[in-house]
Amino acid sequence: MIKDYNFGYTKVNSKQKTKLVQNVFSSVASSYDVMNDLMSLGMHRLWKKRFVEIMDIRENEFILDVGSGSGDIASEILRENLPTRLYLLDLNQEMLSEGKKRLKKENNIKYFIGNAENLNFESNFFDKYAISFCLRNVTKYLLSIKEAYRVLKPGGKFCCLEFSTPKSPLISSSYRLYKSKILPLLGEVVAKDKNAYKYLSESIDLFPSQEELSKDLVDCGFINVESINLFNGIVSIHTGYKL
Ligand SMILES: C[S@@+](CC[C@H](N)C(=O)[O-])C[C@H]1O[C@@H](n2cnc3c(N)ncnc32)[C@H](O)[C@@H]1O
């Protein structure tokens, strides 16, 4: 099998990439929430709040959260206090279990183990598709965007929150230093897994820029594609609609 996928800076084949990424999430599942707060100094909470505002949830919508992890996006959606049908999907059992533990009293949530690349849902089913800090980890990332398009209803909204490319050179250089030196160190001390956080840093470096991802969304059929930068583009919210 050709090694044409990146696991961070290491070249691997597609099966290896999916397995290695899943090993990362199995290893960090129990410390994932603490690490998120520490690494972003709590900022990820603001980013996710803004993300859900931009999702613009309405009553009775069917919402799919792909790579739902420990349930941050679902919790934020529930805070809107609207009746919705929430479908949480993750490829990793340990991460999905963290989410289930946290949201156990909510009975309008369905949980699925599954791959973003090959969704086991019928076409034209969801009003909203959310993917937060997951797309970067998907092996065949274009396939997952095509799947998002397929499962959305016509008029349905695609929403992605992901690390992106800072716009200012000054922020870009200090951020590069933070990612390459401080992140792996924090990972070693708190999550006891330096390599997982080295992967995180490298996967951010290699992820498409705002412009590249917007182009991929358009190529997959989405219209009115936009990206909204937060923190100078350290993270970005990408949206698009199915025709
Ligand atoms: C960084 S976590 C993000 C969790 C949550 N969405 C958040 O914003 O905090 C990424 C999640 O994506 C999941 N994931 C990675 N590759 C996936 C794939 N191909 N299909 C579905 N989930 C995937 C991981 O297991 C992990 O739970």
- Ligand 1, atom 11, lies closest to the CA of 67
Neighbours of 140 (CB within 10 A): 17
- Ligand 1, atom 8, lies closest to the CA of 132
- From the CA of 71, how far away is ligand 1's center (Å)? 10
Q: What is the pLDDT of residue 104?
A: 85
| 165 pocket-lining for ligand 1 (C-beta < 6 Å) | no
| 24 pocket-lining for ligand 1 (C-beta < 6 Å) | no
Beta strand segments in the chain, E:
5-7, 10-12, 62-66, 85-90, 109-113, 126-132, 152-163, 223-230, 235-241
- From the CA of 129, how far away is ligand 1's center (Å)? 14
| 239 pocket-lining for ligand 1 (C-beta < 6 Å) | no
| 68 pocket-lining for ligand 1 (C-beta < 6 Å) | yes
| 116 pocket-lining for ligand 1 (C-beta < 6 Å) | yes
Mean pLDDT (10-residue bins), the chain, 243 residues: 91 97 94 91 97 98 98 97 96 96 90 98 98 98 98 98 96 94 91 91 96 98 98 97 97
| 95 pocket-lining for ligand 1 (C-beta < 6 Å) | yes
Q: What is the pLDDT of residue 59?
A: 97
By the 10 Å C-beta count (0-12 exposed, 13-18 middle, 19+ buried), 110 is classed as: exposed
| 78 pocket-lining for ligand 1 (C-beta < 6 Å) | no
